[in-house]
Structures are given as C-alpha cells and as structure tokens.
Structure 1
C-alpha cells in the first residue's frame, strides 16, 4: 500500500530553447523535461500540472507546478521529508542549466497550481541600443515611444474586464474576462519595462497588449483609442503581438502559500 502526497514545485526557466511550458508532440518543452527528471528521481511515473501555459521563448522567473507522489505507507513521513528537503538538489542535478528548481512544498490533496492561483504578474522588457547580453532576453526597439501616453492608455485598460480583443482565437476557455490590478510602464537603466498583474491571462494577451500600447506610444493612435479596440472584442483591431523574448512570468500567488522571507 502507498500514501499519495501532493507537492508544489517552485521553479524558474529560461524559455529560449523551449516550445513553452506545456508538453508538445514534436518539440521540447519545460514540462516534458521536468516530468522525466521527476520520474527518474522518484522511480515512478510522474505527471505535473503547471500554473499556466507560456508560449515558445517566454521566460519564467517564478513558476509553480503540482504533482502527486506515491509514498510507502510504512515510511511515508520520512519519504515525504526526504523529498521536500533533498529533492531540489536531486532535480537540479538532472535538469539542464536553464531550468532551476527553487522549492518543493507539501500541500493539501486538493491544491491546484493552475486553478488556485489568485494573482499572476508579467513583465515585458524593451531596450533601445544593440546589446549582445540582452539578445533573447529583451526586445530591441529602434525608436523610443512616449511612456506618458502609453501609461495613460494602460490606465484605461484597467477599467475593462472582457479582453477578447487581446486573445488568440479558438482558445478553449469559458470566458475572456480578466481582472487587471496593475498595468504600468517604467523606465529602466537599459530601456523600459511593462508590468502587468491580473487574476488570470488569456493566451497571447500580454504580448498583444504591449503591441497595442506601443502603437499609442508611437503616435499611431490616441490613448482613448484603446476603448474602441477593447469594446470591439475583435483581435484584428488590436496591435501586433510583440516577440516572446522580452516576456517574463515574474510572480504567481496562492492564498495558502506564504511569501518568501526577505
């Protein structure tokens, strides 16, 4: 007999070489590598469930996945403690350098990495001068957009909840409603960064929002024009999606997980 224990894995990854998080039939994904490493370490078939999809080339500074592990009844407590304490080192030894396990957290049996997340945050990075050390990790843009106008438009976006205009078509979701609680552009030492937080995101949503806001920043439309785009619920009305290289998932929150100590 065995006891089933559910765990959350906290990880980070450089998405450059991967076709996103989710397992793909003919391409390498982060989830595929993680499932193989876990199955090897634990000597049993393991399937993980992630907190959400990330597209090809998108990075994650913080990502959560859950998994169930069968522990022997006669030594379940020790096996649980051993995996929680030593599993980080074991998994990192099996995974490539661009995928890192940060923490293993025992959770209650119904805990769900995707459905229980209360907040997700992304950043999109842009730089303006050629820099080989930013290649693949930030988008090189030739002309500087107007940050004030883009922030005016970003504030307007937060007034709405239906973001059909920023979603890929034919996605299998019940609703296109999201509650955005933060959307702001900030100046950085090497360029600019867009920061956005919401309870959930649609596929391709952040990259479509960034592309649309850049149209405002370039003077192609006024900030108020964002209202017509959102109200149209038509993806073709919004701006072009920006490249994946500048996008990072930076934070995922759960009500029952304490934030890390400073």
Structure 2
C-alpha cells in the first residue's frame, strides 16, 4: 500500500480545511448554536421534556447528526469533484496509487473534518444544556461510522456531479429534509401510528435514534437495528464506489 501517496492526498485535503476555516468550521458551529437558541426558546418553553430528558438536551444528538451528515457529504463531494473540474484527476488516476488508496485518502480526510466539527459542536452544546453520555463507546462508534458512511456517499456524489450546482442538489433536496424529518427535533413516538410507520422508511431515523441512545439510553428504534441499517448503507456505498472505479464511470470519459 502506497502510504506516502495516501498521506499526501489526506494532508492536502486537511490543509484545505484550515485555509477555509470560516466556512468549514466556524459557520456550521454558529448555525448549530442558533438552533439551540431558537429551538430552546421557541419550542423548549412548550415542550419541557421528552422521555424524561429536557428538550434542549434531547435535540443535541439530532443537531450533531444534522451537521455530521451535511458536512461529510459536502467535504467528500467537493474533495473529489475539484480534481475532476481542474483535470488533475487524470494525473491521479495514472499515478501509482490504487483506487482503494484514493478512496481511503479522500473519504478519510472528509470523515476526519466532519468528526472534528461534531466534537466542537458537542463541546459548544455544553454551554447551552446539561449533557450526559451513557454509552461513550457507542457514541464514538456511531459518530465514526456515520462520518465514514456519508463521506463515501459524498464521494459518490462528487464523481456523479458534472457541475457545481449538482454538488448541492442531493444534500439540499434529499439529505437535509430527511434529517429534519428523521426525529432530530422530536421523537417519532409523538407521531400518529400511520406516520410512525412511514417515518421508518427514512434511513436517517436509524442514525439519529442510535446516536441519541448512546447519550441518554432512549431510542425510537432498537439500537441493533440502527447499527444494522447503518452498516447496510455503508456496504451499499462501498459496492457503488467499487463499481465506479471498475467501470470508470464519470472518471475516464
């Protein structure tokens, strides 16, 4: 395995984060902090507790997951799209670097940036609401697994996109709405039975539910089901990335 090449790609992508610190880190943290202020003031006064947890604390895992999903997709999609846009992707493909090494480098950098952001948001949340983490190992596991999975998904979007507008198409029109409707700000048990069943077809429900369970020991879906669904989506993304590199889809033409 070409560790030198992997390190070079990884460090280049990480360096881009520090060059765009305002956009990459500060802006998402400020946006999430505004969610705490707005939702805590507007809704927290009406919904004091959910399952024995204060509303402000209840929404913390959902807000972290919202930022984690969007930033993982954004970081990975732009990371691989820009070499396509500039034409340097052909130099990368002709270099002595395997497809596996390319994927690990770009996805690893995107996941690292997203995890750093999630940790900063978690620390920021401590200033707004009291937090507890009942299962820290599970919390870290869900955090890393989700970051890697959606960085892979973003990597796929970056290869598929043939314009900058398409980089935002899936995150804005699909992922963000699914996150808001996935129990980030409420428990799906609060919904009527019919809509509870419909919501279970939303894959984000399993991510938010499992992540919230790691904090407070409460979940809308069994934690093992959440883990299985996350691993299933990861396997689907890996299979699709393997197919892309095997066929050269949007890379060699």
TM-score between both structures, scaled by the size of structure 2: 0.28
Q: Which has the higher strand share?
A: 1
**Computing the radius of gyration over CA atoms, which structure comes out larger, 1 or 2?**
1
TM-score between both structures, scaled by the size of structure 1: 0.27
Q: Which has the higher helix share?
A: 2
- Relative CO higher for 1 or 2, CA cutoff 8 Å, sep ≥ 6? 2
